[in-house]
Each structure stands twice: as structure tokens, then as C-alpha cells.
Amino acid sequence: MIVYATLVYATKEAGMATEDALTQWIAQEEAVLQRMKAGPGAGVATPEQIAGKTGLEVMQLMLEGLLPFPPITQTLDFSLVEVGEGSAIFQGTPGGAHLNPMGTVHGGWFATLLDSALGCAVHTRMPAGRAYTTAELSVNIVKALTPRVARVRAEGRVIHCGRQLATADARLFGPDGTLYAHATTTCLVFELPAQSRS
């Protein structure tokens, strides 16, 4: 009887922790989206807007709503919510529009969310005048995802960033800590054309 009561209490406590995490995630997402939508909205920053800025500065300006945010985030219902030196966190809402014929979230949605976290983590390590592009992406889906999970996060972090190559890894998880997928990337690093560097 004591074991059962302890298990029920622990399960209830874990459920409350999950709800608390979800509430915090949604509040952070709403604050970011409000700033982004108050700014220039969806689009692509011009070379003049990013000239002389590091990748981290560009990502921070996007979060502050001072640079446009990528239109794909509206299409697939996810958003950048946090960046740091060598890291980026995206949050997504699995919805009915993302389902495959089996009624679970399509692998392409997983891959896009993870690729965004990976690439933007690498972006934060770019000095002014340098950029990157994904050369290789490997995604491992370890658990099916449905819209019953209100939000998931893709957390990317840089493993290595050199003059020509960068590598990163990422995890996709729910507010209860459940791992849904993990991924790695190799990115090519290159010089931006001269007009983007001034």
C-alpha cells in the first residue's frame, strides 16, 4: 500500500512538473512571437541588415524582432525561442497539418525542426562575413509524436566549428523530458560575398 501511494504521488508530481514546464515554454514562445511579429515580420534579412554582424548578433536581433524571421516557421508552426554562443532552441507545435498517413507527425517535420536548431547553433558561431550551409543531416526518430503532445523543443549545440567545417548535434524532446528524436549535422563554412561583409 505504501509503495502504491508513493508511486501515485510521484506520478502526480511528475505530471505537475510537466505542466509547469509546458506553461513556461508557452509563455516564452508567446513573448518571442509577440516581439517578432511587432518587427518586420516574416522574410529574409538583406545583406545590408546583416553586414558587419556576427551570426550570434543576427540571431539575437531576430529574437528581438529587429530582423525578419524565416517564413518557414509560420508554415510548419515552430519558432526560435532561445540562442546562445554555440546553441539554439526551437519550439514546435505538432499539429494535424503535420501528420503522415499513419496519424503521427511526419519525419520531415522532425528533420526540419532539428535542422533549424542545428544550423542556427552553428550560425551563432559565425564571425561577421562568414556563413554556413548544411552539407549532411542525420536524423534518428526514436519515438512517434502526435498532436497530443502540445509542444516539443529542438535543442542544438555546436560540437566543432572550424574555418571550413562545423558539426553540431540536437535533441527533440517534450516538456516531460521524453526524447522523440536526435540528429547530427556537418555544415560547410564559407565567406559571404563582399557586399554582405561591409
pLDDT of residue 193: 83
CATH of domain 2-196: 3.10.129.10
pLDDT of residue 81: 98
151 and 177 Cβ atoms separated by less than 8 Å: no
* Cα–Cα distance for residue pair 1/172, rounded to 1 Å: 37
pLDDT of residue 18: 85
pLDDT of residue 35: 94
Cell digits of residue 18: 510537466
Cell digits of residue 125: 558561431
Cell digits of residue 177: 523530458
* Cα–Cα distance for residue pair 185/96, rounded to 1 Å: 28
pLDDT of residue 2: 56
pLDDT of residue 11: 45
Question: In 10 A of CB 59, how many CB atoms?
Answer: 22
The distance of Cα 153 from the centroid of its chain, to the nearest Å, equals: 7
Sign (positive/negative) of CA torsion 26, 28, 32, 35?
Answer: positive
Beta strand 78-84 with 152-161: parallel, antiparallel or unpaired? Answer: unpaired
CB-based contacts of 26: which residues, under 8 Å, 6+ apart? 150, 151
Beta strand 152-161 with 165-173: parallel, antiparallel or unpaired? Answer: antiparallel
Cell digits of residue 83: 540562442
pLDDT of residue 16: 62
Domain boundaries, the chain: 2-196
Q: What is the pTM of this model?
A: 0.89
* Cα–Cα distance for residue pair 55/122, rounded to 1 Å: 8
pLDDT of residue 15: 63
With H, G, I as helix, E, B as strand and everything else as coil, classify residue 51.
coil
* Cα–Cα distance for residue pair 77/159, rounded to 1 Å: 27
Cell digits of residue 44: 529574409
Q: Which residues of the chain have pLDDT under 70?
A: 1-16, 195-198
* Lookup result for grid cell 564571425: 127
